[in-house]
Copies of this chain bind each other. A is one copy, B any other.
Amino acid sequence: MMTQTTPKDHAGEQDVDLTSSALDHRLAEQPHGTTNGHTNGHTNGANGTNGHASTLPELDASRLTVELADPTAREVPEEAVANSGDETTCTDHMITCKWHYKTGWAAPELKPYGPFTLMPVASVLHYATECFEGLKAFRGFDGKLRIFRPNLNAERMLMSTLRIALPGFDPKELEKLITVLVAQDGPKWLPRSRPGSFLYIRPAIIGTQAQLGVQASKEALLFITLSFMPRMDSPPGGMKLHTSPEDMVRAWVGGFGYAKLGANYGPSLLATAEARARGFGQILWLYGKEGYCTEAGASNFFVVWKAKDTGRLQLITAPLDDRLILDGVNRRSVVELFKNRLAGEVEVVERKYTIDEVLEADAEGRLVEAFASGTAFFICPVSLIHHRGKDVQIPMGKTGESGEYTAKVKGWLRDIMYGNEQHEWGVVVTKE
């Protein structure tokens, strides 16, 4: 950033979509292929220094070093106790892995959970060079430990990492590291005596270079923690949403709403705190003058209604193609389950839709139910939307606790997560 060079012969370049091209360069540079069209990370690309594949060491789970904590030093608290304080309760261990632009990825380390040391001028503390993932490990009713679709989180983490100009990696290696940590701490922290319990897995990567220049960080730290998290999927009476204020937008076309960057979260806290102070659970983020429904808090949002033209049942949710919203793992799973198991009964529609369409469906008695989906909130029934002084009550089924389809898809997912149904999405952790 400190130097200025003479522009290269750029007149002939396609520079209209410089950012897309930047990202494409990165992805094209990756040395390995993966199964889903995503490609693996490599080290040099993240600093934009050149367009050549790196010969520096890659992220490699097989190089993991292990330093174990004293297993008797800490007891596993009850879930309610663990979630009652101001601090997140983490398990005995974490995994960390350092990266440096000159030496590539170091050997990952599994070691006792504990503090980091960062210089005050570290990139992450000033320029939000950070991204993360969230997924869960489950103790099944069949006694097995499972992780839900970890490959999708690992691949999304690579995408977010490149978007925030941090170093790439092979997502399969990240998935292996996640599995190793769950295999290490799962047996103690998700005891077989507590079927139906879960832990929250938080992989993250931060820019650690001690440099105040506004530039891609030349050092990074990848880390994975395992912790307790409150159950948020069943607030009494359902979740109540407050639509976003006219003067505030969470994400925008051309922005980074699709990536799991810290920069999407901090700026939303002020409005969320105000909504909570007024008694609502989350903000329903609208977009544009049209008031398109996008996300509920940091969760995806679904409505079941009867279509205006045909009267047929539809599950509607915001689309991914304008990159406003997160491609949620639960969102994707919900869409796939509705398509596979409710074909002919409920049509799945991914398109832009407005809050006015929701209001109209309500007024015409076509609104069937609504829910939010995300790792933290799982599948959370929505009972009310407050919009510009008006309340839209959303049906909550015969029980008053959840709409029928919401309960159905939640049950399917729960069965897969906790092993009541053997399914490829519930990846069993075997080494325990």
Q: Report 9 cross-chain contacts, Cβ distance below 8 Å, ordered by A residue.
A: A7-B279, A15-B386, A23-B270, A48-B274, A86-B218, A87-B210, A128-B265, A249-B252, A252-B255
> Which residues from chain B contact A225 at a C-beta distance below 8 Å?
120-121
Distance to closest chain B CB from A132 (angstroms): 5
Partner of A90, one of B5, B120, B255: B120
In the bound assembly, the distance between CA atoms of A206 and B239 in angstroms comes to: 30
Q: A229 on the interface (CB 8 Å rule)?
A: yes
Do B267 and A164 have beta carbons less than 8 Å apart? yes
State which size class the interface on A falls in.
35 or more
Q: A334 on the interface (CB 8 Å rule)?
A: no
In the bound assembly, the distance between CA atoms of A1 and B282 in angstroms comes to: 8
Do A265 and B212 have beta carbons less than 8 Å apart? no
Q: A280 on the interface (CB 8 Å rule)?
A: yes
- Secondary structure dominating the interface of A: loop
Interface segment among A63-71, A135-143, A240-248, A424-432: the answer is A240-248
Do B212 and A15 have beta carbons less than 8 Å apart? no
In the bound assembly, the distance between CA atoms of A237 and B268 in angstroms comes to: 42
A256-299: CB near B (< 8 Å → 1, else 0) gives 10000111111111111111111111000000000000000110
Do B271 and A211 have beta carbons less than 8 Å apart? no
In the bound assembly, the distance between CA atoms of A252 and B247 in angstroms comes to: 11
Beta-carbon contacts under 8 Å, A11-65 to B: 11-13, 15-23, 25, 47-48
Interface segment among A111-119, A310-318, A335-343: the answer is A111-119
Residue of B nearest to A96 (CB): B120
Partner of A267, one of B5, B119, B163: B163
In the bound assembly, the distance between CA atoms of A20 and B247 in angstroms comes to: 7
Q: A193 on the interface (CB 8 Å rule)?
A: no
Do B273 and A22 have beta carbons less than 8 Å apart? yes
Residue of B nearest to A212 (CB): B88
Do B48 and A276 have beta carbons less than 8 Å apart? yes
Q: A398 on the interface (CB 8 Å rule)?
A: no
**With A120-B225, A261-B128, A270-B23 in contact, is A276–B16 under 8 Å at CB?**
no
Q: A254 on the interface (CB 8 Å rule)?
A: yes
- Residues of A near any B CB (own CB < 8 A): 1-8, 10-13, 15-23, 25, 47-48, 83, 86-88, 90, 94, 113, 115-121, 124-130, 132, 162-165, 200, 202, 204, 206-207, 209-216, 218, 223, 225, 227, 229-230, 232, 235-237, 239-240, 242, 244-249, 252-256, 261-281, 297-298, 376, 384, 386, 388-391
> Which residues from chain B contact A256 at a C-beta distance below 8 Å?
267
> Which residues from chain B contact A48 at a C-beta distance below 8 Å?
270, 273-274, 276-277
Partner of A209, one of B87, B119, B218: B87
Do A88 and B121 have beta carbons less than 8 Å apart? yes
Residue of B nearest to A275 (CB): B18
Do B130 and A10 have beta carbons less than 8 Å apart? no
> Which residues from chain B contact A94 at a C-beta distance below 8 Å?
120
Do A254 and B247 have beta carbons less than 8 Å apart? yes
Do B10 and A88 have beta carbons less than 8 Å apart? no
Do B88 and A211 have beta carbons less than 8 Å apart? yes
> Which residues from chain B contact A18 at a C-beta distance below 8 Å?
242, 244-245, 248, 271, 274-275
In the bound assembly, the distance between CA atoms of A281 and B7 in angstroms comes to: 9
Residue of B nearest to A7 (CB): B279
In the bound assembly, the distance between CA atoms of A158 and B397 in angstroms comes to: 47
**With A4-B281, A15-B388, A240-B4 in contact, is A124–B124 under 8 Å at CB?**
yes
> Which residues from chain B contact A248 at a C-beta distance below 8 Å?
18-19, 254
Do B127 and A2 have beta carbons less than 8 Å apart? no
In the bound assembly, the distance between CA atoms of A229 and B215 in angstroms comes to: 13
Do B247 and A83 have beta carbons less than 8 Å apart? no
